[in-house]
Amino acid sequence: MTSHPLRLPPGRVDLTEIDPGSTALFDGGKKDAKAALFAMGEELSDLQERLFAQGRSGATRRLLLVLQGMDTSGKGGVLKHTVGLVDPQGVRITSFKAPTEEERHHDFLWRIRRALPEAGYLGVFDRSHYEDVLIGRVRELADPEEIERRYTAINDFERELVDDGTTVVKCMLHISPDQQRERLLRRLDKPSKHWKYNPGDIDERGQWPRYREAYEVALERTNTEHAPWFVIPSDHKWYRNLMVGRLLLDVLRGLQLEWPEADFDVEVERKRLLDESPIA
C-alpha cells in the first residue's frame, strides 16, 4: 500500500497543501461516484466474507480501519455508506467517546486493546487512540512529556498489531473549515439533525489551527511503513465514501484471500446426508 495515491508521503506534513475539495482520483460527479461505490459492494462483500471464513478456520488475519477527522468530516457517513456495503456480521464498530472514569484510570491504549477486532473481522474505529494525541494535545489533557511518549507508544502498539496479523488502515478525513461551517449550519436547519449538533463543537472549531497542527504532528510521527496514513479529501461526501471504499477494496485484494479448504472429506459427508434414515 506504500505506493497508493492516497497514501500520505513520509516526512513533514502540511495539511494546507492537501486540497480537501479534491476529486482528482475520480473522473465523474456525485451520481457516478454513488453508482461506482454501490457497484463495488459485491466484490467488497465477497472479500470480507473470505476474511471472515478464514477467521472461522483458524487464520489470524483481521483488518482495522481507523477513522479520524474533525467534527462533520464524515466518520459516520463512511460507516453508513461504505462499511455498510458489507455483511454487518463480520464488522465490529467501536465509537470512542470521551474516556470514562474507569478508562481514565488506565493507560490510553487500554480501552483500544479491548476493542480490537477478533480474527476474521473488519474492525472499525470511529475515533481512536489518536484522540489522545489530538484533543489530548490541544486541550492539554496530559502533560507534554506524556503526549510525546504516546507517539512512540502508538507506533509500537500498531507494530504489535501488524505482527499479529492485523492490517491497519488509518484514514484522516480531511475537510476545510468552510465546509465544516456549512455542515454545522445544515444540522441547525434540520430538526432531524439537531441531535448531532453540540454547542461544544463550535468551541472545538475555534481551535482549528491548533487541531491542524496536532494532526500534522500526529500524522508525521505515526506515518509508519507498517501502519501508514491515508488522507482522504472529504469536502465532497461522495468522493470521501468512494475513496475509502476503494482503499478497503485495494487492501482486501492485496490480502489474496482464498476460501479455506475443507478439513473434512466432502464425499463422506455427502454420503452421510444422502444415506440417512428419514427424519420424522
The contact set with a second copy (CB under 8 A) reads 53-54, 56-57, 76, 79-80, 83-84, 87-89, 91, 93, 95, 126, 177, 181, 184-185, 188, 191-192, 194-199, 202, 205-206, 208-209, 259-262, 264, 266, 269-270, 272-274, 276, 279-280
Grid cell 470512542 in the structure block, residue: 96
Is 54 or 223 the residue whose CB approaches a second copy more closely? 54
What grid cell was written down for 173? 478525513
Q: For a second copy, give the closer residue by CB, 9 or 88.
A: 88
CB of 225 to a second copy, least distance (A): 30
CB of 147 to a second copy, least distance (A): 23
Task: Single out the residue of 172, 209, 219 nearest to residue 11, CA to CA.
Answer: 219
Cβ-based nearer residue to a second copy, 24 or 268: 268
Which of 54/222 has CB closer to a second copy? 54
Angstrom distance (rounded) from CA 221 to CA 234: 22
Closer to a second copy at the Cβ: 24 or 273? 273
Min dist CB 135 to a second copy, Å, is 17
CA 266 vs. chain centroid, Å, equals 38
Torsion angle in degrees (nearest 10) through CA of 45, 47, 53, 55? -110
Distance (Å, rounded) from C-alpha 75 to C-alpha 237? 10
| Helix boundaries (H) for 72-170 | 75-81, 101-104, 110-114, 135-138, 144-163
CB of 262 to a second copy, least distance (A): 4
